[in-house]
Amino acid sequence: MKKVLVFVVLLSFAFAKAQTYSSKIIPNNTMLLHGFIDEYPITMYVESNGYCEYEQEFSGWYKYDNSTESIPILFYYSAYPEEDSFKIYAKYDGDFETEVDEEYACQVLNYDEVFETTAVNGIFNDLKWHKSNANTILKTWFEGNPQEQFWELGSQEVYLTRDEQIILDLGALDFSYAYAVDVIGHKIVDDVNHLLLDISVPSKPGGNGRGMCGGGEEIYILYIRLDENDKLIYSDQAKVISCFTEIDESAFIYDPAFPEKGITTSN
């Protein structure tokens, strides 16, 4: 009987240990649009590639819905200056030549087709399509709200998970820009889960290495308590490393071996 009891206890302990907390970061880097060039239905796929100097870079393809051939596209976007035109370049072989001009603007030098409008109209609004060597201009439009979809590109969702199941949106705790989340401490005390997380975020989201701390890193320690159903009942956080400000490494006290103690100040 004792052997059976010991086995049950060990099995329960193993099951509890098997339930592991981790994180999941889901980037939103792509969008798929459906629309028309004149009366011809098209599909356009857009993917965020990061930055070219100060401008965001996007690539992808578009195709006519009655065709199996896709045409590569490339374009850049910056919110400033607003009077600049907005252009999506298409090239049949995808071999774009680009350069950065003296004002650090990224330019496409060769293309076969282009969709263009002015920023005053709002990007993806009032687009006109034409070939590089032709005068025929055709109106282009997309279903839904492509501009709103475009603004969301580059965003992400950051979650705490248990056994790969999402249980907490860390973006709601101001960590939507996190690029690394590590659970460094976990303990159950009186049916409450105590967790310590090490979270890294860019000092300047979208800074692309430009300016002071453009490529810098801010590191936080997040302490949370979850009830037995993994519902958040308490949270606290402290910035322990910063590119902008020197932080005394002894300013905050926390112990991954005893996460239930939370975060305290040394003063």
In whole angstroms, give the CA distance from residue 75 to residue 265. Answer: 49
CB 164 within 8 A of CB 144: no
CB 206 within 8 A of CB 78: no
Residue type (1 letter), 153: L
In whole angstroms, give the CA distance from residue 10 to residue 159. Answer: 31
Report pLDDT for 30.
96
In order of 121, 200, 214, the CA distances from 263 in angstroms are: 50, 17, 29
Segment 119-168, tens digit of pLDDT: 666 788 889 999 998 889 999 999 999 999 998 888 899 999 999 999 99
Could you tell me the strand order of the sheet in which 192-202 lies? 180-189, 192-202, 217-226, 232-241
Segment 240-265, tens digit of pLDDT: 999 998 898 889 999 999 999 999 98
In whole angstroms, give the CA distance from residue 98 to residue 108. Answer: 5
Q: What is the rounded end-to-end Cα distance, in angstroms, of the chain?
A: 53
Mean pLDDT of 26-34: 95
The CA angle 218-222-226, to the nearest 5 degrees, is 155
Mean pLDDT of 109-124: 86
pLDDT at 11 over 70: no
> Alpha helices, DSSP H only, in 102-220?
146-152
Report pLDDT for 73.
98
